[in-house]
Each structure stands twice: as structure tokens, then as C-alpha cells.
């Protein structure tokens, strides 16, 4: 039964009874959550109904665990200040920064640091789900059950891209959670979290779903569930329950300027987490498909430039040489609208959809190219492991001979053969000066223009021809250090 229909029925019964209080036992076959009706007026009219999570906590609480992960801390502690000043004293920071430590006192030895988190049992034989950031780099992991048992846990595997980790403890017949369906969640629906914020074990908080499919910076593979449930340090890795007592997410991140809860929390959808967990249990790692393209969001201006009816899809700004996309014939300027028949509404959808496919899978892409849509088949390769980013120097050259395009506010120069080789491009124009509409659009001195709309730019002549054929808005494909992106410009 729909939860809102159920609440309306309960409200009607409460109003008919002319009173208030706890109403239980009406739907024992459905959800472990009763409701409390609160009257607003003396005549007994019901103002609102609040869920009562007591039965949910009683049934599902034993499957939630607390986690302590120890890490070797190589940074020795500073010795104490020569003058004992309390940390809450206004002058503490002054003495800490400007007074030298006691030279005769030996520095304190390095100690292990301990991080606290939460998790939950999803298999009776002791498999536990939590966040990767809770246990990453730990030398020892300890799990505390609600029956006061403490056990050493083995790290089966973790995936930093989704922030999911699987642990194993030697136990049997453990209470387990029920897995729900995040797709069935509705914005505004009640949810609850159980965890150990700040180390306070078995803590329950509740709220509503604020949004779904939320993308966060540098998080390409997780469509987060946003809630206003109070989540704090120590809640990480704990379960997010719906009113049926089913786990629909793993509490993972908070938006905070203070380090504490500020009304916005993010959970990993449980269906995505379980796919990762299955791979980690089987092989200890996660294998994902890779297409070999760099993409950006399609704005309203870019959609107009490419003749698309509205902003949608993922705009290809770079194709990796010898990658699956290159071999399949994908081109810079293509807009990927579909993958295996599924709509790619935003650029952030594509990495998740490709990542869901195993290496070696052949996918069918619906691509918008020069005013029409076509289908392209591509065979994926395995996405390599995470690599640390390396600083990139400024490779943008400047050539003496310049060409002015006053309409665009651009002064351009052609690239030399050495510049092309250094940048890894076949041709292009370096921006010596960007002003007016170009500067307002975000173009910078040193950017290299390698395309206009869906035409490749190799020299000044090709740029002039492409500019003459353009109508209305244009989109310049720009290389900036190691990044490639389209920048829309409006022609007057």
C-alpha cells in the first residue's frame, strides 16, 4: 500500500475517533513503523501524522555495527607548551604558534590514529557493508555488535570510486538487514539512519528524502540520495532505512562548513552498493567498462550551436587515441544521447552507465552529429585503477604572427610543428589575447582552439571558413593545459 494512502486512512480513523495517540496494529503485514496522530484543535481535527520508528529500531537495530579502524600515525605529537594553557583559552593559539616547546622534554612517541564509523550486516555469515573511507589504509579493524561482542574484521575489498567497502567477521546466524529499492523512494518520504555519530553507538536519527540522483564534485559514479537526516562523523557507512524497514542507502557524506551536521546529507543507493559488494566478495576488486572519451555538459547555448532541440546528452570534447571510442568512430563534437536505448539526459549519467557495463561488452550509442542522429557500436575495455594526478605545466605557446577577429574579441596565432607535437594535436590556433565577448565567455590567453562547432580547426584559413558557415551561436573547442572543453560564443 502506498505510504501516503496509508497515512490518510490512519488520519481518517483518528479524526473519526475524535482523539489522538499512538495507532498501532492496523497494518501489521506491511511496515514496522506506526504513526502518531497529533490534533491541532480542540475539536480533534488532525494536523499531521508523524512516523514512530520504535518497531523499526527494535527489528533492524541489531544488524547495525560500530567500526573502529586503526591506522599507523607517522606524525609525532608535539610536546606540550612550556606554559600550561587550556585549549579553550583565547591565548592558546598564540602560545602554540609562537612559544617554542620545552626543549628538555622528549617529544611524545607516534601513536596509532583511530577512525570511527558504522556498518551493517548483509549476510548471516558475517559480511558487512561500510564506507571505503572509514577503513581505507587501516592496519586493524574492530567491529562491535549490539550484543556487546567485539570482533576483528578482515577487509575483503574496497572501491574508492563509490566509497563502498566489504568486511568479514567470523560469526554465524547474524541478524541481517533487508535490502530495499532506491528507485521506489520519493522525495519527501520519511527515512531513518542508525549509526554511531561521534562514537555514540546505536543512535537513531530521522528525516525525509530531500532529492534523488544528486551528483557531487569528483563523484562520477554515484547518484546520491540527499536527505535532511542528521548525519555526523561516525555515521559514515551506516544504513539508511525506509518506512518498510528496508535499507535503501549507505550514509556516506555530509555538506558542512563546521564539520558537523547542517541539514544536508548524502547516501549511496543500496542497489549500486550491492553490485559493488558482489564483485568485491567474488574477486576483491571492481571491474568497470571504459569508453575512452572526455565529456562535458550540454548547455543551452551549446545545444543551439549544435542544432539540438534542447540541452541534453554528453558532449564529447576529447577521444582517447586507440581507445574503444576512437576505434568505433566517435568524433570530437558528437553528443551521446543514448546508451543501449537508455536516455543520457546529463553528462554525469554517462560514466555511471558505462561503468555498469563489464569490460568486453559491446554497447550501442545513439549519437547526435551534424544535425542528425546515428547509431555507433563500441566494445569497452577495462577502466584502469585510480591514478594520482600529476601537475601539468603550461604548454600553451605564443607565436609572433597574429590574426585579429574583432567580432569575437580574439587575437590568434597558428601553432608550429613543435607546438602541435607537444600538445598532442594535429593543428589549432593559440589565443594571444581574449577580450570582449570572448573574455566574458571564459576564454583565456594561451588557450588553443582546435575546433569550431563540429569542424576541426588546423589553421587560420580553416577557422575563417568555419566561421563563415556558422549561423547564430558558435562553440569553440579549446585545449587548456591537459583539459578540453567547448566554450559557447554568441555572434552579433
Among 45-59, 91-105, 378-392, top mean pLDDT goes to 45-59
Examine the pLDDT at 6 and tell me if it is beyond 70: no
- Pick the range with the lowest mean pLDDT from 52-66, 174-188, 335-349, 426-440: 426-440
Examine the pLDDT at 344 and tell me if it is beyond 90: yes
- The overall average pLDDT reported for the chain is 81
Q: Are 166 and 281 in contact (CB under 8 A)?
A: yes
- Pick the range with the lowest mean pLDDT from 8-17, 326-335, 433-442: 8-17
Where are the strands (E) in 299-369, listed by range?
314-319, 335-339, 342-343, 362-369
Question: For 77-105, what is each residue's pLDDT tens digit?
Answer: 444 445 555 555 555 555 555 555 554 44
Look at 391 and 226; give whichever has higher pLDDT. Answer: 226
Examine the pLDDT at 30 and tell me if it is beyond 70: no
One DSSP character per residue, 3-55 reads: HHHHHHHHHHHHHHHT--EEE-SSSTTT-S-EEEEEESSTT--EEEEEEE-HH
**pLDDT at 53 (0 to 100):** 93
Question: For 256-284, what is each residue's pLDDT tens digit?
Answer: 766 677 788 999 999 999 999 999 999 88
Contacts of 82 (CB under 8 A, 6+ apart): 99, 100, 101, 102
Examine the pLDDT at 75 and tell me if it is beyond 70: no
Tell me the pLDDT band of 19, cut-offs 50, 70 and 90: very low
Contacts of 33 (CB under 8 A, 6+ apart): 51, 52, 53, 55, 56, 190, 243, 244, 245
Q: What percent of the chain has pLDDT over 90?
A: 43
**pLDDT at 128 (0 to 100):** 97
Question: For 126-148, what is each residue's pLDDT tens digit?
Answer: 999 999 999 988 889 999 999 99
Examine the pLDDT at 37 and tell me if it is beyond 70: no
What are the beta bridge partners of residue 68?
116, 142
Identified catalytic residue from 133, 210, 305, 438: 133
Active site residue 133: yes
Q: Can you tell me the mean pLDDT for 170-186?
A: 95
**pLDDT at 398 (0 to 100):** 37
**pLDDT at 402 (0 to 100):** 75
* Number of Cβ atoms within 10 Å of the Cβ of 370: 13
**pLDDT at 445 (0 to 100):** 84
Question: For 408-439, what is each residue's pLDDT tens digit?
Answer: 888 888 887 877 877 778 888 988 888 888 88
Contacts of 419 (CB under 8 A, 6+ apart): 397, 399, 430
Tell me the pLDDT band of 388, cut-offs 50, 70 and 90: very low
Identified catalytic residue from 34, 118, 210, 236: 236
Identified catalytic residue from 163, 334, 349, 447: 163
For the chain, report the end-to-end CA distance as a whole number of angstroms. Answer: 58
Amino acid at each position: 500500500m502506498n505510504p501516503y494512502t496509508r497515512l490518510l486512512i490512519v488520519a481518517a480513523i483518528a479524526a473519526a475517533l475524535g482523539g489522538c495517540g499512538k495507532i498501532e496494529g492496523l497494518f501489521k503485514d506491511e511496515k514496522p513503523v506506526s504513526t502518531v496522530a497529533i490534533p491541532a484543535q480542540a475539536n480533534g481535527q488532525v494536523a499531521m501524522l508523524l512516523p514512530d520508528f520504535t518497531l523499526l529500531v527494535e527489528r533492524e537495530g541489531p544488524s547495525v555495527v560500530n567500526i573502529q579502524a586503526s591506522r599507523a600515525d607517522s606524525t609525532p605529537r608535539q610536546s606540550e607548551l612550556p606554559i600550561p594553557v587550556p585549549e579553550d583559552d583565547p591565548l592558546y593559539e598564540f602560545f602554540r604558534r609562537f612559544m617554542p616547546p620545552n626543549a628538555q622534554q622528549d617529544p611524545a612517541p607516534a601513536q596509532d590514529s583511530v577512525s570511527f564509523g558504522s556498518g551493517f550486516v548483509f549476510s548471516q555469515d558475517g559480511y558487512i557493508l561500510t564506507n571505503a573511507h572509514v577503513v581505507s589504509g587501516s592496519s586493524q579493524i574492530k567491529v562491535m555488535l549490539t550484543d556487546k561482542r567485539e570482533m576483528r574484521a578482515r577487509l575483503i575489498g574496497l572501491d574508492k570510486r563509490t566509497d563502498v567497502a566489504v568486511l568479514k567477521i567470523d560469526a554465524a546466524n547474524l541478524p541481517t538487514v533487508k535490502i530495499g529499492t532506491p528507485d521506489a523512494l520519493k522525495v519527501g518520504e520519511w527515512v531513518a539512519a542508525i549509526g554511531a555519530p561521534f562514537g555514540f553507538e546505536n543512535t537513531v536519527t530521522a528525516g525525509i528524502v530531500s532529492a534523488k540522483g544528486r551528483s557531487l564534485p569528483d563523484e562520477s559514479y554515484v547518484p546520491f540520495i540527499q536527505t535532511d537526516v542528521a548525519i555526523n562523523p561516525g555515521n559514515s557507512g551506516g544504513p539508511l532505512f525506509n518506512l518498510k524497514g528496508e535499507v535503501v542507502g549507505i550514509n556516506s557524506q555530509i555538506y558542512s562548513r563546521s564539520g558537523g551536521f547542517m541539514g544536508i546529507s548524502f547516501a549511496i543507493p543500496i542497489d549500486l552498493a550491492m553490485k559493488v559488494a558482489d564483485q568485491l566478495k567474488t574477486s576483491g576488486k571492481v571491474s568497470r567498462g571504459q569508453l575512452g572519451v572526455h565529456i562535458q555538459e550540454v548547455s543551452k547555448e551549446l545545444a543551439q550551436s549544435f542544432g539540438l532541440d534542447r540541452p541534453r546528452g554528453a558532449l564529447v570534447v576529447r577521444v582517447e587515441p586507440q581507445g574503444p571510442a576512437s576505434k568505433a568512430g566517435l568524433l570530437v563534437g558528437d553528443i551521446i544521447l543514448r546508451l543501449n536505448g537508455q536516455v543520457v539526459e546529463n553528462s554525469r549519467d554517462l560514466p555511471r552507465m558505462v561503468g555498469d557495463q563489464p569490460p568486453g561488452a559491446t554497447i550501442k550509442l545513439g549519437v547526435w552529429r551534424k544535425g542528425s542522429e546515428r547509431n555507433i557500436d563500441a566494445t569497452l575495455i577495462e577502466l584502469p585503477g585510480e591514478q594520482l594526478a600529476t601537475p601539468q605545466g603550461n604548454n600553451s605557446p605564443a607565436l609572433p604572427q597574429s590574426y585579429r577577429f574583432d567580432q569575437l574579441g580574439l587575437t590568434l596565432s597558428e601553432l608550429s610543428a613543435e607546438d602541435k607535437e607537444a600538445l598532442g594535436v594535429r593543428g589549432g590556433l593559440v589565443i594571444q589575447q581574449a577580450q570582449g565577448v570572448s573574455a566574458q565567455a571564459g576564454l583565456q590567453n594561451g588557450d588553443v582552439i582546435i575546433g569550431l562547432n563540429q569542424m576541426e580547426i588546423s589553421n587560420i584559413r580553416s577557422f575563417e571558413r568555419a566561421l563563415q558557415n556558422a549561423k547564430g551561436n558558435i562553440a569553440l573547442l579549446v585545449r587548456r593545459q591537459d583539459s578540453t572543453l567547448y566554450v559557447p560564443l554568441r555572434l552579433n
